[in-house]
Amino acid sequence: YIFRELAVSYLDRTDLAHVKPVGASFDDLGGGAYEAQANVAEPSERTASKSLEVLKQVASTGYMRKRLPQELVVLQGGMGAMALSGDPVAALNTLVPVTAQAAFGGGATALASGTVTMDARAKAKMQGYEGEACGECGNYTLVRNGTCMKCNTCGATSGCS
pLDDT of residue 20: 63
* pTM, two decimal places: 0.28
Model confidence pLDDT, tens digit, residues 12-49: 666 666 656 666 666 666 677 777 777 777 777 777 77
Q: Output the average pLDDT for the chain.
A: 69
CA 16, CA 35: separation in Å to the nearest integer? 18
- pLDDT band of 157, cuts 50, 70, 90: confident
Model confidence pLDDT, tens digit, residues 100-134: 444 455 555 555 555 556 777 788 888 888 788 88
pLDDT of residue 70: 59
Q: What are the residues facing 157 on neighbouring strands? A: 150
pLDDT of residue 65: 57
Give me the percent of the chain exceeding a pLDDT of 90: 0
